[in-house]
Amino acid sequence: MTNTFLDSIKVRRSIYALDKNVSVEDSKIEELIKDAVKYSPSSFNSQSSRAVILLGENHDKLWNIVVDTLRAIVPAENFAATEEKVGSFRAGYGTVLFFEDNAVIEGLQENFALYADNFPIWSEQSSGIAQHSVWVALANAGIGASLQHYNPLIDDAVKAEWNIPASWNLRAQMPFGNIVQEAGEKEFIDDADRFRVFK
């Protein structure tokens, strides 16, 4: 039995060695990211996920913000390694910033009070699904990516730089670009430790 969906998700890996030599047109990249987020499921069809796509100078600017933010808190003797790591993300072609809109979540909490405590949890699940969908879509276009979490350290600077609505809550950053080096072999724990099947 073949399953093209499973074949697609098997292609997705964390790719850290990136450069800017992407052959896919910007318009196509934007379209696949938008579609991946748009068609990802969310609780109560809340559609709370938001994405900001940074290309060119805006992509570089984000990782400069990360470096400047970390420089203020990472000890000087350890900063070279930190700067090198962040530089590997800047070397990519673009970045997707993933947000969840708190205004949507709060509206659901007001309208469906019985589930109020669950909506923030379901929002995180929706965000994770959107992130995975974008990651797989990029991988299937031959574009490498990884998922980073410099929030909440960079939240205020990001909102100020790109005029992000106050209700948008930054959840993750996905640098992407041309694959310079493929990921290594992935190891899996034994199925017996992970799954239970009852017939």
Domain of residue 33 covers 19-179
Residue 127 lies in a domain: yes
107-160: pLDDT as tens digits: 999 999 999 999 999 999 999 999 999 999 999 999 999 999 999 999 999 999
Residue 87 tokens read as 């530089």
Residue of 110, 105, 139 lying closest to 122 (CA atoms): 105
The tally of domains found in the chain comes to: 1
Q: Within a domain: residue 136?
A: yes
Rg (CA), the chain: 18
SS3 content of the chain, % helix, strand, coil (to 5): 50, 15, 30
Residues 6+ apart with CB under 8 A from 155: 169, 170
Q: Using a pLDDT cut of 70, give the percent of the chain over it.
A: 99
What does pTM read for this prediction? 0.96
10-residue averages of pLDDT along the chain (199 residues)? 88 97 98 98 97 98 98 94 96 98 98 97 98 98 98 98 98 98 95 97
Q: What is the pLDDT at residue 1?
A: 64
